[in-house]
Amino acid sequence: MNQQEKLDQVLNEGMDRLFNGESIDRILADYPDLAAELEPLLRTVQNSRALARVQPRTEFKSRARYEFMTAIREKETRSKRRFTFNWRWQSPWAIALASILVVVLAGGGTLFASGYSMPGEALYAVKLTAEKAQLAVTFSDVTRAELNAKYAERRIAEIEYLATQGNADQIQIAAANLNYNLNNMSRISLGDYEATMSDEPPTANALMFNTESASVPGEEVSASSETTAQTTEAVTGGGAATFEADQASPELMRKAVVPDQSTETPVTPMAAPAAQPAVSAMEQAPSPDDVSTTLTPHIMVLNEPEPQIYTTAQDEDGSSPELTEKERIRRIIEENYQERQARLLAVLENAKPELRQAIKQAIAASEFEYWKAIRNLEMNPDP
Amino acid sequence: MQDEISLVRRAQKNDSQALSELYEAYFDRIYRYVAMRVRNEMEAEDLTQQVFMKMLQSISGYKSQGVPFSSWIYRIAHNQVVDFLRQKNKKTTVDIDGLALQDTHDDPQSLVEKEYDVLELKKAMQNLTASQQEVLALRFTGEIPIAQCAEIMGKSEGAIKALQHSAVQALRRALAGNK
């Protein structure tokens, strides 16, 4: 091996060790005679680490994943079509048994495939039903919050994909289902999930912009339409008129913006600990129509409660903090919220004009449910 | 490795879950590799999707006799990129000798601390030959071992080591030139 080949070999070994986390100094110590030539090369490799962190855009990943799963399903369909079966030669009981086997064996696959379905597809209902079933057999509030956060993330992926397809109607359905999951989270934060949980699956129209206020224990059900309207307007960034003006579904929008006072429990700014200053901030928020030109990822954070810092005496000792159940729920809600809003705003930024209204509604609803959830937690701290 | 082999076998039988798991395992890595080879984000996205569609079409023909699945899928990506660049007739490389090479005796301290961002690196990479870009893309983005790089690029291990050495030297010069 000549000198050049030796350096080729040593550089290769050094790169492998660098990729495995060893320090350059330690690597060089093993090759003192080549260290002078080796060091600048290894530094170059180390300083190029950014290349290993390049990530595809989230929106692209969602779309690509969906298209890949669609291609898998098409492939399955084609292979099933090629399969021919001469039923005339089979006895009735054998056909019945085979049918049962097909259903049983294919069931898991259908359920799995449904996980990649989108609103408007046959398997989408299966996907939502499976999620609901999972929630129904979950009894820990923290796990419920985690599941709803996970499902909300799926809804965002659906909206991202549907925006690339230019499908406003289906975005509204995904947004309605997003609102359902977020509403679940605010109910969980209330600590009374079972009692307040609706057995009815979400319907797109009813949930399109659900300004239903969370019930707060101890509050009287004496709705003040003024305060409710104030809150609604604040949450939509003063955009109630914009929503009402939606000609595509005026009935729906009227229903969403003007809550049914017979069932509404009002959210008064006075009732919520963080609401007073926050509502003022919301009143100053830009209208939804301004979102595209004025928003940075934080401007739509109309009513962000003060971030909670989970410090305990144990923290100071260096040991890991023990979070209460509500603190864990809050952390789930906050983490999910930050990513969700950033992704929705990114979708909005790139959306065609005809899609913007539906996406804005999703953003406003997401904002509102987050506010409700945090307020519920603050109103009902751990004993 | 054994898990991946059984995953691939299931995928070859059209098991959608196994196909999905392979997709998730390789998607980001393949994207990074492709993104380093082409200049445009949209091109990188299109090509990445094409790689996985090809995988779906041809996975039944994959034989694991000594060739890891990762080599096979990177080979698909390599072919897609090469075809793409050929079709677009893009001049993606500049002869390294044509560069105005600068003295690379950097201040040792700044050299230690400086970590280049992706744009700087991509710009510098454009000054490398196609083969040099290829070997660094495989090594940096996927940390592919040299033996697998040799399989993917259809060269001997010795040739790949020499290529890698010249590529890192060229990258160093190009980064210094970009300052």
Are residues B161 and A72, on separate chains, in Cβ contact within 8 Å? no
B145 touches chain A (CB under 8 A): yes
Q: What is the DSSP letter of B64?
A: -
Are residues B16 and A109, on separate chains, in Cβ contact within 8 Å? yes
- How crowded is residue B77: how many other Cβ atoms within 10 Å of its Cβ? 27
B28 touches chain A (CB under 8 A): yes
The pLDDT of residue A58 is 82
| Residue carrying structure tokens 């999703």 | A362
Lowest mean pLDDT among A15-19, A243-247, B6-10, B114-118: A243-247
Q: Which residue among A51, A56, A73 sits closest to B28, beta carbon to beta carbon?
A: A56
The Cα A109–Cα A13 span in angstroms is 45
DSSP string covering B157-174, please? HHHHHHHHHHHHHHHHHH
Tens digit of each residue's pLDDT (9 = 90 or more) over A42-54: 999 988 878 777 8
Q: Tell me the shortest Cα–Cα distance from B59 to chain A, in angstroms.
A: 12
Are residues B162 and A5, on separate chains, in Cβ contact within 8 Å? yes
Tokens of B168: 């890192």
Q: What is the b/e burial string over A306-330, where b = at least 16 CB atoms within 10 angstroms of the residue's CB?
A: eeeeeeeeeeeeeeeeeeeebbebb
Q: Tell me the shortest Cα–Cα distance from B115 to chain A, in angstroms.
A: 4
Are residues B121 and A61, on separate chains, in Cβ contact within 8 Å? no
Chain B residues with CB under 8 Å of A41 CB are: 165, 168-169, 172
HEC-encoded secondary structure of chain A: CCHHHHHHHHHHHHHHHHHCCCCHHHHHHCCCCCHHHHHHHHHHHHCCHHHHHCCCCHHHHHHHHHHHHHHHHHHHHHHHHHCCCCHHHCCHHHHHHHHHHHHHHHHHHHHHHHCCCCCCCCCHHHHHHHHHHHHHCCCCHHHHHHHHHHHHHHHHHHHHHHHHHCCHHHHHHHHHHHHHHHHHHHHHHHCCHHHHCCCCCCCHHHHCCCCCCCCCCCCCCCCCHHHHHHHHHHHCCCCHHHHHCCCCCHHHHHHHHCCCCCCCCCCCCCCCCCHHHHHHHHHCCCCHHHHHHHCCCCCCCCCCCCCCCCCCHHHHCCCCCCCCHHHHHHHHHHHHHHHHHHHHHHHHHHCCHHHHHHHHHHHHHHHHHHHHHHHHHHHCCCC
Are residues A76 and B104, on separate chains, in Cβ contact within 8 Å? no
Q: Tell me the shortest Cα–Cα distance from B88 to chain A, in angstroms.
A: 23
Mean pLDDT of all residues in B111-126: 73
Chain A residues with CB under 8 Å of B141 CB are: 51-52, 54
Tens digit of each residue's pLDDT (9 = 90 or more) over B7-60: 999 999 988 889 989 999 999 999 999 998 887 888 999 999 999 999 999 999
The pLDDT of residue A110 is 62
Torsion, CA B51, CA B69, CA B34, CA B121, rounded to 10: 170
Mean pLDDT of all residues in B133-160: 91
Q: Which residue, among A215, A249, A367, A194, has the nearest Cα to A297 in the 3D structure?
A: A367
B116 touches chain A (CB under 8 A): yes
Which of A74-78, A133-137, A224-228, A288-292 is predicted most confidently? A133-137
Are residues A68 and B48, on separate chains, in Cβ contact within 8 Å? no
B96 touches chain A (CB under 8 A): no
| CA closest to B143 among chain A residues | A19
Residue pair B138/B74 in contact by the 8 Å Cβ criterion: yes
For a pLDDT cut of 70, what percent of chain A falls above it?
Answer: 55
**What pTM was computed for the model?**
0.51
Are residues B52 and A68, on separate chains, in Cβ contact within 8 Å? yes
Are residues A48 and B164, on separate chains, in Cβ contact within 8 Å? no
Residues contacting A200, CB < 8 A, separation 6+: none
Are residues B16 and A76, on separate chains, in Cβ contact within 8 Å? yes
Q: What is the b/e burial string over B32-65, where b = at least 16 CB atoms within 10 angstroms of the residue's CB?
A: bbbbbbbeeeebbbbbbbbbbbebbeebeebeee
* Cα dihedral sign, A339-B47-A158-A102: negative
Are residues B171 and A112, on separate chains, in Cβ contact within 8 Å? no
What is the count of residue pairs from A and B with beta carbons less than 8 Å apart?
Answer: 123
Give φ, ψ of B157 to 5 degrees.
-60, -40
Q: Which residue among B136, B140, B161 sits closest to A9, beta carbon to beta carbon?
A: B161
The pLDDT of residue B17 is 85
Residues of A in CB contact (< 8 Å) with B are: 4-5, 7-9, 11-12, 15-16, 19, 40-41, 43-57, 60-61, 64-65, 67-69, 71-73, 75-76, 79, 109, 112-113, 116
Mean pLDDT of all residues in A62-90: 68
Are residues A51 and B52, on separate chains, in Cβ contact within 8 Å? no
| Residue carrying structure tokens 């397809």 | A165
Are residues A116 and B20, on separate chains, in Cβ contact within 8 Å? yes
CA A133 to chain centre: 19
What are the CA-CA distances from residue A258 to residues A252, B105, B164 (Å)? 10, 71, 67
pLDDT at B71 over 50: yes
Are residues A72 and B16, on separate chains, in Cβ contact within 8 Å? yes
Are residues A44 and B27, on separate chains, in Cβ contact within 8 Å? no
pLDDT at B147 over 80: yes
pLDDT at A260 over 70: no
Mean pLDDT of all residues in B105-119: 53
Chain B residues with CB under 8 Å of A112 CB are: 16-17, 20
For a pLDDT cut of 90, what percent of chain A falls above it?
Answer: 9
For a pLDDT cut of 70, what percent of chain B falls above it?
Answer: 83
Q: What is the mean pLDDT of chain B?
A: 82
Are residues A64 and B16, on separate chains, in Cβ contact within 8 Å? no
Residue pair B164/B135 in contact by the 8 Å Cβ criterion: yes
Q: Which residue among B14, B112, B139 sits closest to A76, beta carbon to beta carbon?
A: B14
Q: Tell me the shortest Cα–Cα distance from A372 to chain B, in angstroms.
A: 35
Tokens of B160: 């790949």
pLDDT at A288 over 70: no
Q: Tell me the shortest Cα–Cα distance from B100 to chain A, in angstroms.
A: 19
Q: Which residue among B112, B116, B162 sits closest to A48, beta carbon to beta carbon?
A: B116
Confidence of residue A70 (pLDDT cuts 50, 70, 90): confident
